[in-house]
Amino acid sequence: MANGRAAMQRQTDLATVPAPGCPAFAFNMCCALKPDARGLPADMQAQDVAVAARRTIWRAGETIDGVPIICQGWAATVITLSDGRRQILAFLLPGELVCASLVYNAVSPSSLEAVTDVHYRQFKRQAIRAAMERDPKLTLTLAKLWADENARGDRLILDLGQRSADERIASLIVNLADRLARRGPMPDGTMEFPLRLHHIADATGLTAVHAGRVLTEFRRAGLIELSDRALTLLKPDELRRIVGLL
């Protein structure tokens, strides 16, 4: 791993900063936990971890001693079948809670993999639970996050069960674009898009070959531009129409 040392460095740097670049959603919890680390050393409350792209962070069924929130980079939750088939349950963007159920149960239902280089911060389960008991509003925040997680799952079920390849991929793109737009402006409709074909394939239940075909088809139709890990929505409305929204 070329960036092993770089990652290490980043890790120690960040340990000194309360909430690094970590934007948006789960932010509520970062804020609520960090300020009142009364008496406890910082590393008792949360632990910073850096992982290189394409690494498996943990496997389904493993015990996770904390609740991770993504700070930088993209990750994915994955289920693997014994014969090697893989299904991506969700992509996790910076600022997102990895898995709400980890607040109550240490056993992870799915594997976690780094798509890009990832930096995440793992909060002590007890610290979060304690904070929620102190401030009931945090319980509502968690419930909201958990419900969002469900909503994304339900949408994926709909995509996989009812939609064609074109629709699934349009749905994925629109979904990611909306989530990214929510946490910062997207100049010229361009967003970072670090996914490989096999990520898209594993997330949409298609093969990488076919996912590639659909994308070139979208390119030729002038719907998107995609190169160098950057994706531009040229006709966002047309994409949304394919998905059936709008």
Partner DNA sequence: CGTGAGCTTGACTTGTTTCAACCAACGTGG
Partner DNA sequence: CCACGTTGGTTGAAACAAGTCAAGCTCACG
The interface partner of residue 72, options being its own copies, DNA, none and the CB cut-off 5 to 8 Å by kind, is none
Minimum CB distance to its own copies smaller for 140 or for 221: 140
Residue 148: partners with Cβ closer than 8 Å, 6 or more residues away: none
195 contributes a contact to its own copies by CB under 8 A: no
Minimum CB distance to DNA smaller for 148 or for 225: 225
Site for its own copies in 89-118 (CB under 8 A): 89, 101, 103-105, 109-110
First to last CA, the chain: 45
Return the closest-CA partner of residue 149 out of 102, 98, 109.
98
Give the separation between CA 158 and CA 228, rounded to whole angstroms.
30
12 contributes a contact to its own copies by CB under 8 A: no
The interface partner of residue 35, options being DNA, its own copies, none and the CB cut-off 5 to 8 Å by kind, is none
* Strand intervals (E) in the chain: 46-51, 56-58, 67-72, 75-80, 86-92, 111-114, 118-123, 190-192, 224-227, 230-233
Smallest distance from its own copies to CB 87, Å: 4
Smallest distance from its own copies to CB 19, Å: 25
82 contributes a contact to its own copies by CB under 8 A: yes
Classify 97 as helix, strand or coil: strand
The interface partner of residue 86, options being DNA, its own copies, none and the CB cut-off 5 to 8 Å by kind, is its own copies
Minimum CB distance to its own copies smaller for 6 or for 157: 157
Give the separation between CA 7 and CA 67, rounded to whole angstroms.
21
Minimum CB distance to DNA smaller for 83 or for 188: 83
Minimum CB distance to its own copies smaller for 161 or for 185: 161
The interface partner of residue 235, options being its own copies, DNA, none and the CB cut-off 5 to 8 Å by kind, is none
Our CA dihedral for 176, 204, 120, 102, rounded to 10 degrees, sits at 110
Judged by the rule CB under 7 A, the positions of this chain that interact with DNA are 1-2, 54, 164-166, 196-198, 205-210, 212-213, 215-216
Give me the helix-helix angle, 136-162 and 125-134, nearest 10°: 120
Smallest distance from its own copies to CB 63, Å: 15
Site for its own copies in 142-161 (CB under 8 A): 143-144, 146-147, 149-151, 153-154, 156-158, 160-161
The amino acid sitting at 31 is C
Classify 50 as helix, strand or coil: strand
